[in-house]
Copies of this chain bind each other. A is one copy, B any other.
Amino acid sequence: MRPGLILKLSSPDHPGIVAKIASYVASHSGNLTEFSQFSDQLGKKFFARLEIDTSGLDVTVEDFKTGFGTLGRSLGATWHFRELPYKMRTAVLVTKTDHCLNEILLRTELGELPIEITSLIGNRDNCARIAERAGLPFHHVEMDGPLREKGFTEIQDLLRAQNVELIVLARFMQILPDSFCQEFSGRIINIHHSFLPAFIGANPYKQAHERGVKLIGATCHYVTADLDGGPIIEQEVERVSHFHSPNDLARLGRHCERAALAKGIRYHVHDRTIIDDHRAIVFPD
C-alpha cells in the first residue's frame, strides 16, 4: 500500500464537480494516482473515490484535509479521508465454523487485507484454538437463551473498549439487535451463505438443494436492522447439479463464502465502498 491519502465522497450531482475536486487536489500539488467516480443519473447523486500521492503536497496532510472542508461543504457532500498506510482495527465474530475466519487470517498474512485484528469473539469456544495459534485474544461470550441480551452488551463493550473500526461476522450465527446495528452502522460486514436475495434466512444450502438450483452462491453485505437485507458488497457463485447433496453444496459454498467475504473486506478496508441507502457503490480492484 502506497503512502498517501484516500478521499471518499458522496454528494448531490453538480456540474463541474469533478473539476472542482480534482482542482483542489492539483492546487496543492497532490497527484491523483486513481480516480473513480460514478454519476448516478437516476438518483442525481455523485460518488467518488480518489487515491492521492501526497509526497509532493505544498501543505501538510492535515491542512490539506482541513482545507477540503470549504469545497466539501459547498458541494453538500459527505466525505472521508484515510491516510495510508494504515491498518483497520477489526474484530471478528464467530460461532463454530472456522473457514471464513481462517480465510481472513490467511489473506491478512498474505498482505491482502490491511487490518489489525483486535480480537476474536465467539458465542462458542470452537475457534479459541485458532486464536491461540494466531496469537490473538479470544473472548468467549455466553449468549444462549436468557443470556442473549447480556451477551450482546458484553460484546458491544468489548468492541468499544478495543476501539474497533470494523466488525466482521465470519459465520456468526446470531441475529444482531437493532441497537447493535445502529451503533456500528456501516462498519459491520456479514457473509451470508446464499446468493441473496435468494434463500434468505436459515439453511440456505438445504433450501437450494430442495429448489434444485444450478448455481449456488454467497453474499458479502453490510449489516443493517433488516436481516439479510443490507447493502451488498460482493457476490460469488459456483455451478452445481442434482448430483450434489446439501453437504456437497455446503462444501462448494464454503469456497464462495471465503472468496466473497475476503473481497468484501478488502473493498471496505481500502475504502472502495460507499453506502448509498440500501445499496453499496463498490469500486473494485
Contacts and interface: CB of A to CB of B under 8 A. Distances in A.
Interface of A: 15-20, 22-23, 25-27, 29-35, 37-42, 47, 56, 99, 102-103, 106, 110, 112, 133, 195-199, 210-215, 217, 231-235, 237, 239, 241-245, 248, 251, 254-255, 259, 276, 278-282, 284-285
Nearest to A252: B285
Contact of A15 (B56, B237, B280): B56
Describe A's contact surface by its main secondary structure: mixed
A155 to B, nearest CB: 26
A37 to B, nearest CB: 5
A40 B31 CA distance: 13
A243 to B, nearest CB: 6
B35 A26 contact: no
A195 B235 CA distance: 13
Find the residue from A197, A239, A244 having the highest chain B CB count within 10 A: A197
Given A18-B22, A19-B26, A212 B198 contact: no
B215 A254 contact: no
